[in-house]
Amino acid sequence: MNTDLEPPRVPPLTAAEHARMRNQLMDTARPAARRPARHWVAPVVGVAAVAAVVAGTLVVANRPSDDAGVAGTSTPQASPQAKVGVDLGAVPQRDVAKLITECQFPDEGGPAELVWSRHVRGISKDSTTMVAVARNTKPTTENPAKIKAGRKPGTGGAPSWAKLGYRYCMTRMPPAAKLGPVASVGRVGDEAWRTEPTPRRGLVALGGSNNDFTQDLHTLQAWAVYRALPSVATVEARYVLDGQPGPWTKGVVEGGFAYTEVQARGKFTVGEKLTTEVRAFDAQGKQIPVG
């Protein structure tokens, strides 16, 4: 037997076969540690998408419109919607005497002592408002004749729940007929005045109104005065009308007190009221519970 047989002849490889074999050899020789890099592309995108959803959930959950007064860490000091502010600074000196007069009830000895005051925007474009917290300096003795005749609001002395003599008051300038009510005064209850703001209740309401309107009934207004925690730097409010919220409006924080005010435009009826949502922030933009 002849063992010196020659191997069968192999036909030469084409250029395409050479390229295919070369690519197979290169894939085999490539280090295995580099291969997973492509496999992480999809998971990384997935994690980013989940993070965006979580962040979005947090923003929604911490909006005061959903849960007013719940502290949050991702809410800015002033929301993008709070483009309108109400603060006009201190009450002009020429108007202080008028404001003091408006802060008195009928038959009070007076004059009232202003504890806090502020000049703010008006209920109409051509008006402004002065708002204050004041105290009666000369308590009035009860008049038995008026009690028998049926004491009218604000006469015959302070009621038993407001013996400290504190009150909130406002007056509109100028006192034009188209503004509707041009001044008001209300008593601050002794319990409310003695209640101190806390980190869990940054604002203590002293009084206000949620149904002021212009004479033509085209503007409905709500406003309120509060004692404020020292850490409160910003307050914002918005109305909710027929289930629809209005824009956030920046109020006033000054001297341990705060003031919020919102206005809705439309066609209203006498006695209609505005529901108001309020939120507060510290100087770093962290939301403070308002109680």
**Residue 71 identity (one-letter amino acid):** A
Q: Write the DSSP string, 47-98.
A: HHHHHHHHHHHHHHHT-HHHHTT---SS--SS-TT--EE-B--SPPGGGHHH
pLDDT (mean) for 166-185: 87
Q: Per-residue confidence at 117, pLDDT binned at 50, 70, 90?
A: very high
pLDDT tens digits for range 65-77: 333 343 333 344 4
pLDDT tens digits for range 241-258: 999 999 999 999 999 999
pLDDT (mean) for 51-64: 26
- What confidence score (pLDDT) does residue 156 get? 57
pLDDT at 238 over 90: yes
pLDDT tens digits for range 187-234: 999 999 999 999 999 999 999 999 999 999 999 999 999 999 999 999
Cβ–Cβ < 8 Å for 276, 237:
yes
pLDDT at 78 over 90: no
pLDDT (mean) for 152-158: 58
- What confidence score (pLDDT) does residue 278 get? 97
Q: Write the DSSP string, 117-164.
A: EEEEE-SSTT-EEEEEEEE-SSPPPP-HHHHHT-PPTT-SS--GGGTT
- What confidence score (pLDDT) does residue 80 get? 52
- The better pLDDT of the pair 113, 178 is held by 113
Q: Per-residue confidence at 43, pLDDT binned at 50, 70, 90?
A: very low
pLDDT at 20 over 90: no
Q: Per-residue confidence at 33, pLDDT binned at 50, 70, 90?
A: very low
**Which residues have CB under 8 Å from 155's CB, separation 6+?**
105, 106, 107, 143, 146
pLDDT (mean) for 7-36: 48
Gap between the Cα atoms of 147 and 229, Å rounded: 39
Q: Per-residue confidence at 17, pLDDT binned at 50, 70, 90?
A: low
- What confidence score (pLDDT) does residue 46 get? 26
- What confidence score (pLDDT) does residue 107 get? 79
Can you say how many angstroms the Cα of residue 199 is from the centroid of all Cα atoms in its chain? 17
- What confidence score (pLDDT) does residue 111 get? 87
183-187 vs 166-173, strand pairing mode: antiparallel
* CA neighbor of 195 nearest in space, from 184, 187, 204: 204
Report the chain's mean pLDDT, rounded to a whole number: 75
257-265 vs 252-254, strand pairing mode: antiparallel
